Amino acid sequence: MSTPSAGGDEPRRPTMTDVARVAGVSLKTVSRVVNNVPTVDPELAGRVLAAVSELGFRRNDMARNLRAGSTSATVGLLIEDLANPFYAGIAAAAAQYALEHDTMLITASSEEDAERERALLLEMCQRRVDGLLVVPAGDADHVYLRPEIERGTPVVFLDRPPRNLLADTVLIDNAAGGRQAVEHLVAAGHERIGVISDWLSISTMAERLAAAEQALERAGVPYRPDLIAYGLHTVPEAAAAVARMLDAPEPPTAIFALNNRLTLGALGALNGRTEPVELVGFDDFETAAFMPWRLTVVSYDAREIGRMGAELLFKRIAGDRSRPRKVIVPTELVVRSAG
Amino acid sequence: MSTPSAGGDEPRRPTMTDVARVAGVSLKTVSRVVNNVPTVDPELAGRVLAAVSELGFRRNDMARNLRAGSTSATVGLLIEDLANPFYAGIAAAAAQYALEHDTMLITASSEEDAERERALLLEMCQRRVDGLLVVPAGDADHVYLRPEIERGTPVVFLDRPPRNLLADTVLIDNAAGGRQAVEHLVAAGHERIGVISDWLSISTMAERLAAAEQALERAGVPYRPDLIAYGLHTVPEAAAAVARMLDAPEPPTAIFALNNRLTLGALGALNGRTEPVELVGFDDFETAAFMPWRLTVVSYDAREIGRMGAELLFKRIAGDRSRPRKVIVPTELVVRSAG
DNA sequence: GTGTCCGGAGACAACGTTGGCACCCGCTCG
DNA sequence: CGAGCGGGTGCCAACGTTGTCTCCGGACAC
């Protein structure tokens, strides 16, 4: 019942061989025309081009890259969650930079799961990406990447450093950001400052929290463990934690939320309340200026992280063998008053 | 000066041939072990596995896919702007669905540029993606995709229909959303309703605007061309347009913004003003609930667009040849009152 | 007229992998 | 005791492309 070459039913992409047959030239001549080699008789080139457009031929880059060696003109990007605007900004900037280098971006989300991260990155290596951009999951160990790096797949870490591995890294100045936020609140006269944090296994959280605690201590603000909540990974968890703090006997007069998700949670908890609680959030977002609260944020250029990471990665791909670099993107406190 | 096989300097990924040599077996036996073919002597299999981990071998999927036929276990996603939360949600959902089908996602941004869209999609076809998910640029013509589709690369359109092409499409119910928004405002007693729109070459804008005008007419609200502004593609443009309307002799008492960027612009223009203007925006966003305005939104499940699109695409990839389908994702009016 | 050179075209191998086939060996059954 | 069988292994071709080499014919110089 099967009609192997009955045509029409089972579409198959034409190959250079097909083009060569139709144009009445050799395979190699088709290759030359397709690759714009100048030494081809214009008449033959014309026949080839006609055949190409008649058949709808399009060169198979998989085969081409296989032959060409170990480049796929593809880089992999692994982030926690594509839908988070912070990471989406990184992804957009990295994709743009890659495109300018004739490279496309494979993206995937780790969902903060170390095992998933591992599986996805190794999968990308199997596909012979030219390099990897990675926002590591909080508790990931990256020794497993060493063989891949040694065998020529460079890796650049974004937003968080690798564990048990030396590699290029682009970080935010978390310590400065944490300090700026707390100093701002202290200067405004606050003495009971609540801090809400995601999992401390995430390095950015640990660094921001440490900087905040240090700044509080330096300012002579008494240490209040009841005003520090961590392990909050979702918006509702953050909201619940803030609500608990506010309902306690000595509620905070200000809150420092260590990332954008936590800031949303805090906003949710504060919404509808009358207490004049001041809120500072790490990570800026588009609608921050329109909030009814005095929402000050620790801001930085998220796209710069993606762009810079891509730049470092492409240097490695081009053969740079110098020792790993660490780039720190600066933070800036954007102070906003109530509307 | 060059030392071809001096080792260490020029990293090269080991191949099955290398593994076979180290393990002292044939190439084919390595292939069997790597692919878990059961009929291999356990002792040989052990030697192969030892060699694999000694060399750090990882199968080259490019070569594998070339041999296997025309599948790359990759699909392409083209959207307007990865950094826009609306599209980021689509991308995240599509990536997740793809992953569940052992497929990875190549993402790129068209930046609403038809020529760039064309170049990127054809580039993806050259890489032999198994299929394409496309949010078309406003003024794109898609005839150029017909040969690709005929030759076995299915395409599913998201959010906006294709032009001059028949293909699966996942759309939002723009007409219902536009109607709901206007009916809500009319019911609240508004008679001067400003509408701000992006380029009308974008089909979603045209549909939403048409539905809004129709609803206004049905409600007996007099047509007011001075309260309709279109061609606004950036936040500042939208803000300026709204400011102009508000400063006119007969300012609107309500505004309907046809997408999330325009809503942000409107918020910017309204910020600091005292007029009690009611705002309705198409597209929900995370912080909408915290706004000091009565910010009602036309909401829908953005992730569902990505998921549904991916589902249709994988059916096609699996060989579905039925006639193209159109899926409409419903909208819902989320009414919010001032805080 | 002959040797040389050069532009233009094709044959062939190779990239790394897998499917198809042939082969070898030890066993069982007639 | 020989044919048949089947598990285990290896050889070869093929996927679609490009680099290298060779070949052919014409122009040019001697």
Comparing B292 with B140, the larger pLDDT belongs to B140
Position B176, amino acid:
A
* Residue showing tokens 């990155």: A121
Q: How confident is the model at residue B285 (pLDDT cuts 50, 70, 90)?
A: confident
pLDDT over 90 (residue A5): no
List, for residues A106-137, the tens digit of each pLDDT value.
999 999 999 999 999 999 999 999 999 999 99
> How many angstroms separate the CA of residue B287 from the nearest CA in chain A?
7
Please compute the mean of the pLDDT values over residues B58-82 and round it to a whole number: 91
Nearest to A267 among B92, B105, B290 (CB): B290
Average per-residue pLDDT for chain A: 91
Mean pLDDT score, A313-334: 95
Report whether pLDDT(B9) > 50: no
Query: What does the pLDDT average to over A58-69?
Result: 90
Convert the pLDDT of each residue in A35-57 to its tens digit: 988 888 888 899 999 999 999 99
Amino acid of residue B71:
T
Å separating the CA of residue B44 from the C1' of nucleotide C16: 21
Contact list, B125 vs chain A (CB under 8 Å): 58
Q: Do the beta carbons of residue A286 and residue B264 sit within 8 Å?
A: yes
Query: Which residue of chain A has the CA closest to B73?
Result: A127
Q: What angle do CA A323, A326, A330 make, to 5 degrees?
A: 160
Chain C: positions less than 7 Å from a protein CB are 7-12, 14-20
Q: How do residues B79-96 score in pLDDT, each as one tens digit? A: 999 998 899 999 999 999
Neighbours of A221 (CB within 10 A): 18
- What sign results for the dihedral spanned by CA atoms A141, A144, A145, A150? positive
- Which of B287, B291, B303, B307 should one mutate to test binding to chain A, selecting the residue with the greatest count of A CBs within 10 A? B287
pLDDT per residue as tens digits for the range A181-196: 999 999 999 999 999 9
Kindly tell me if the per-residue pLDDT of A339 is higher than 50.
no
Distance CA A173, CA A13 (A): 51
Q: Is the CB of B287 under 7 A from strand C?
A: no
* Closest residue in B to A124 (Cα–Cα): B104
The reported pTM is 0.90
Question: CA B167, CA B190: separation in Å to the nearest integer?
Answer: 41
B219 touches strand D (CB under 7 A): no
* pLDDT, tens digit, 9 for 90 and up, residues B35-51: 998 888 889 999 999 99
Least confident of A256-260, A327-331, B43-47: B43-47
| Count of A-B CB contacts under 8 Å | 169
Length B171 CA → D2 C1' (Å): 73
* Closest Cβ opposite residue A89 in set B83, B89, B289: B83
Q: How many C-alpha atoms does A36 have within 13 Å on its Cβ side? A: 0
CA to C1' distance (Å), from A68 to D18: 7
A290 with B267: Cβ contact below 8 A:
yes
Q: Give the per-residue pLDDT at B8.
A: 41
Closest by Cα among A271, A307, A249 to A91: A307
